[in-house]
């Protein structure tokens, strides 16, 4: 099965017994079963292929599960940082929509801000909570953008002592250790109740 056929499936309805992939490609997760190395849907629901974590699962329809789509506003936690991007563990889609699992996303330095950002670490750091928009689902990876005033970091933590950072004019301040850091924040930094 090719990536292209997955693209048509992600978030779409699948029926019990429907082939989702093979165990060489994916880790079978909830709502699936494996037979002879092939992963099948166990229930009627929406299929999710998480290409970053290589997991495939099926969410029951009656739980009102949502999956990110292009244009979705999502909230997630920043994970590993690479040279010019960070991985994001998406845990919320839309306005407090319940999610049954986690989705992997990527934020590239060029999508951080409308302004030029030299380094991804000037925009967000591992552990931060960000609000972002899904701009592409190419290859089943959610590419994110924070280039808007309502998008960006909503909670940031001191990289020295993990204390919640306070926003001051153009910098982030740690009231515990005095450390000063940079972030690309959303206009309502620190206000969203998670
Ligand atoms: Zn600190």
The closest alpha carbon to 22, from 47, 40, 3, 46, belongs to 40
**Predicted local distance difference test score (pLDDT) of residue 7:** 43
The closest alpha carbon to 128, from 189, 193, 92, 79, belongs to 79
**Predicted local distance difference test score (pLDDT) of residue 2:** 44
Question: Would you say residue 162 lies in a domain?
Answer: yes
- CATH code of residue 33: 2.40.50.100
User: Average pLDDT, stretch 187-192?
Assistant: 91
**Predicted local distance difference test score (pLDDT) of residue 146:** 98
Residues 56 and 77 in one domain: no
Residues 82 and 128 in one domain: yes
CA distance 21 to 36: 11
The model's pTM? 0.72
Residues 46 and 78 in one domain: no
Residues 83 and 54 in one domain: no
The closest alpha carbon to 50, from 37, 59, 63, belongs to 59
Ligand 1 center from residue 174 Cα (angstroms): 5
Strands 27-28 and 55-60, bridge-based pairing: parallel
Residues 48 and 116 in one domain: no
Ligand 1 center from residue 155 Cα (angstroms): 14
Ligand 1 center from residue 16 Cα (angstroms): 51
The residue with greater pLDDT, 66 or 60, is 60
Q: Provide the domain limits for residue 29.
A: 3-63
By percentage, how much of the chain surpasses pLDDT 90? 57
Residues facing residue 85 across a β-bridge: 108
Ligand 1 center from residue 160 Cα (angstroms): 5
Residues 59 and 78 in one domain: no
Question: Would you say residue 188 lies in a domain?
Answer: no
Q: 3-state DSSP call for residue 129? A: strand
Ligand 1 center from residue 129 Cα (angstroms): 17
Confidence of residue 3 (pLDDT cuts 50, 70, 90): very low
Ligand 1 center from residue 162 Cα (angstroms): 6
- How many structural domains comprise the chain? 2
Question: Would you say residue 175 lies in a domain?
Answer: yes
Question: 184: burial class by Cβ within 10 Å (0-12, 13-18, 19+)?
Answer: buried
**pLDDT over threshold 80, residue 65:** no
Question: Would you say residue 91 lies in a domain?
Answer: yes
Q: Choose the final residue of a domain: 25, 45, 63.
A: 63
Residues 89 and 170 in one domain: yes
The closest alpha carbon to 50, from 84, 79, 21, belongs to 21
Question: Would you say residue 49 lies in a domain?
Answer: yes
- CATH code of residue 107: 2.40.50.140
Question: What are 19-52's pLDDT values in tens digits?
Answer: 999 999 899 999 999 999 999 999 888 888 887 7
């Amino acid at each position: 099965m090719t990536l292209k056929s997955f693209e048509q499936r992600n978030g779409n309805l699948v029926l019990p017994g429907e082939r989702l992939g093979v165990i060489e490609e994916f880790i079978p997760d909830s709502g699936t079963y494996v037979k002879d190395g092939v992963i099948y849907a166990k229930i009627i629901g929406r299929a999710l292929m998480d290409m970053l974590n290589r997991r495939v699962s099926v969410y029951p329809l009656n739980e009102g599960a949502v999956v990110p789509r292009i244009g979705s506003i999502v909230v997630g936690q920043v994970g590993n940082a690479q040279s010019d991007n960070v991985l994001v563990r998406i845990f919320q889609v839309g306005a407090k929509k319940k999610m049954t699992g986690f989705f992997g996303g990527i934020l590239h330095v060029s999508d951080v801000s409308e302004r030029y950002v030299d380094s991804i670490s000037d925009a967000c750091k591992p552990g931060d909570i960000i609000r972002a928009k899904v701009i592409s689902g190419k290859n089943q990876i959610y590419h994110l953008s924070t280039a808007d005033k309502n998008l960006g970091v909503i909670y940031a933590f001191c990289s020295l002592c993990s204390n919640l950072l306070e926003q001051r004019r153009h910098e982030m301040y740690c009231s515990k250790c005095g450390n000063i850091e940079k972030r690309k924040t959303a206009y309502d930094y620190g206000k969203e109740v998670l």
